[in-house]
Amino acid sequence: MKRYFAITAIGKDRPGIVSGVSKALYDLGTNIEDSSMTILGGEFAMILIVSTREEVDASDFESHLKELTDKIGLFIAIKELDESDVHSKKPSGIPYIISVIGTDKPGIVYRVSNLLASKGINITDLNTKVIPGETAPVYTMIIEVDIPQYLDVTILEEEFSTLEKEMAIDIGIKEIEVLEL
Amino acid sequence: MPTLPVLRYPHQTLRARSLEVDNVNDEIRRIITDMIDTMYASPGCVGVAAPQVGYPLRIFVIDVSRKIGPKKNHGLLALVNPVVAYSEGEKITREGCLSIPDFLGNVKRARKLIVMGINPEGKEVEILSQGLEAIAFQHEIDHLNGVLFIHRISSLTGDLVRRKSTPKDTKD
Ligand SMILES: [Zn+2]
Touching check for B77 and chain A: CB below 8 Å? no
| Lowest mean pLDDT across A171-175, B83-87, B141-145 | A171-175
Q: Would B140 be classed as within a structural domain?
A: yes
| pTM attached to this predicted model | 0.73
Average pLDDT of chain B to the nearest whole number: 92
B100 part of contact set with chain A, CB < 8 Å: no
**Most confident of the ranges A35-39, A93-97, A177-181, B109-113:** B109-113
In a domain, B78, yes or no: yes
Assigned domain for B167 exists:
no
- pLDDT given at position A121: 93
User: Any idea what the Cα angle at residue A78 is, between residues A73 and A84, rounded to 5°?
Assistant: 150
Residue A149: pLDDT over 90: no
Which span out of A34-48, A124-138, B20-34, B158-172 was modeled with the highest average pLDDT?
Answer: B20-34
Q: Which residue of A has its CA nearest to B142?
A: A181
B65 Cα: distance to centroid of ligand 1 (angstroms): 17
Comparing CB atoms, the residue among B140, B164, B166 nearest residue A181 is B140
CATH of the domain at B85: 3.90.45.10
**C-alpha distance from residue A105 to each of A80, A125, A127, B75 (Å):** 38, 21, 16, 48
Q: Is A179 on the interface with B (CB under 8 A)?
A: yes
Q: Is residue B102 part of a domain?
A: yes
pLDDT for position A100: 95
CA B121 to chain centroid: 20
Is B84 within a domain? yes
Q: Residue A148: closest CA among chain B residues belongs to which residue?
A: B165
List domains and CATH numbers for chain A: 2-87 (3.30.70.260), 94-175 (3.30.70.260)
- A90–B157: do the CB atoms touch at under 8 Å? no
User: Which residue from B minimizes the CA distance to A176?
Assistant: B94
Are A176 and B132 an interchain contact pair (Cβ–Cβ within 8 Å)? Answer: no
pLDDT by residue (tens digit) across A87-142? Answer: 765 556 788 999 999 998 889 999 999 999 999 999 988 888 888 888 888 999 99
Name the DSSP class of B64. Answer: T
Integer CA distances (angstroms), B45 to B37, B48, B65, B68, B80, in order = 11, 8, 11, 12, 19
Count up the domains in chain B and report the number.
1
Instruction: Say how many Å lie between the CA of residue B161 and the centre of ligand 1.
Output: 16
pLDDT of residue A36: 87
Residue B4 lies in a domain: no
Q: Domain range for residue B106?
A: 12-162
Tell me, what's the pLDDT at A34? 87
B105 falls within a domain: yes
Name A128's Cβ contacts closer than 8 Å, sequence gap at least 6.
A109, A139, A140, A141, A142
pLDDT of residue B90: 87
Question: Would you say the ipTM is above 0.90?
Answer: no
In whole numbers, what is the pLDDT of chain A averaged over residues?
90
As a whole number, mean pLDDT of residues B65-78 equals 94
Q: Tell me, what's the pLDDT at B172? A: 42
Whether B119 is in a domain gets the answer yes
Is residue B3 scored above 80 in pLDDT?
yes
Average pLDDT over residues A28-47: 90
Alpha helical stretches, state H, A28-152: 58-72, 83-87, 108-118
For the segment A9-29, the average pLDDT, to the nearest whole number, is 92
